[in-house]
Amino acid sequence: MVLKLYNTLGREKQEFVPIKGKTVKMYTCGPTVYWYQHIGNLRSYIFSDILRRVLEYNKFKVKQVMNVTDVGHLTSDADEGEDKMEKAAEKEGKKAKDIANYYLDVFKQDFKKLNISEPDIWCKATKHIKEQIELVKTLEEKGYTYQTSDGIYFDTSKLRDYGKLALLNTALLQAGKRVSMGEKKNKTDFALWKFSEQPGVRQQEWKSPWGIGFPGWHIECSAMSSKYLGKQFDIHTGGEDHIAVHHTNEIAQSEAAFGKMPWVKYWLHGAFLTFDGEKMSKSSGKIATIAELESQGFRPLHYRYFILTGHYKKQMSFTNENLENAKNSYQRLKNIIKELKDDKKENKEYLKKFENAINNDLNMPEALQVLWEMIRDTKAKGKIKTIKKMDEVFGLDLLKQEKLDIPEEVKELAEKRQLARKNKNWEESDKLRDEIKELGYQVNDTPGGWKITKL
Going by C-beta distance under 8 Å and a sequence separation of 6 or more, which residues neighbour residue 435? 413
What's the closest the beta carbon of residue 384 comes to ligand AMP, in angstroms? Answer: 34
Peptide bond into 407 cis (omega under 30): no
Q: Is residue 123 part of the contact set for Zn ion (CB under 5 A)? A: no
Which one of the spans 12-20, 25-33, 167-175, 288-296 is the region binding Zn ion (CB under 5 A)? 25-33
166/380 with CB nearer ligand AMP: 166
Please, what is the end-to-end C-alpha distance for the chain in angstroms? 42
Q: Is residue 163 part of the contact set for ligand AMP (CB under 6 A)? A: no
String of contacts with Zn ion for each residue 57-96, x by CB under 5 A = ----------------------------------------
In contact, 415 and 432? CB cutoff 8 Å: no
CA pair distance 200, 180, nearest whole angstrom: 28
CA pair distance 221, 16, nearest whole angstrom: 23
What's the closest the beta carbon of residue 269 comes to ligand AMP, in angstroms? Answer: 8
> Which of 92, 222, 212 is CA-nearest to residue 150?
212
| SS3 assignment, position 387 | helix
29/323 with CB nearer Zn ion: 29
Selected from 3, 7, 40, 132, the binder of ligand AMP by CB under 6 A is 40
236/421 with CB nearer Zn ion: 236
Selected from 241, 294, 349, 435, the binder of ligand AMP by CB under 6 A is 241
Q: Is residue 223 part of the contact set for ligand AMP (CB under 6 A)? A: no
Alpha helix stretches (DSSP H) within 359-444: 364-376, 383-394, 408-422, 426-438
The 3-class SS string of 189-202 reads: CEEEEEECCCCCCC
Q: Is residue 32 part of the contact set for ligand AMP (CB under 6 A)? A: yes
Q: How many residues bind Zn ion (CB under 5 A)?
A: 2
Per-residue CA distances from 106 to 37, 75, 101, 112, 120 (Å): 9, 22, 9, 10, 18
> What one-letter code names the amino acid at 167?
L
Selected from 191, 223, 268, 273, the binder of ligand AMP by CB under 6 A is 273
Helix (H) or strand (E) holding 111: helix 96-113
Q: Is residue 281 part of the contact set for ligand AMP (CB under 6 A)? A: yes
**Of 200-229, which residues contact Zn ion (CB under 5 A)?**
221
Q: Is residue 151 part of the contact set for ligand AMP (CB under 6 A)? A: no
29/100 with CB nearer Zn ion: 29
Q: Is residue 24 part of the contact set for ligand AMP (CB under 6 A)? A: no
Q: Is residue 217 part of the contact set for ligand AMP (CB under 6 A)? A: no
Q: Is residue 216 part of the contact set for ligand AMP (CB under 6 A)? A: no
For 124-134, b/e burial (b = at least 16 CB within 10 A) is: bbbebbebbbe
Give residues in contact with ligand AMP (CB under 6 A): 29, 31-32, 40-41, 43-44, 238-239, 241-242, 270, 272-273, 279-281
Give residues in contact with Zn ion (CB under 5 A): 29, 221
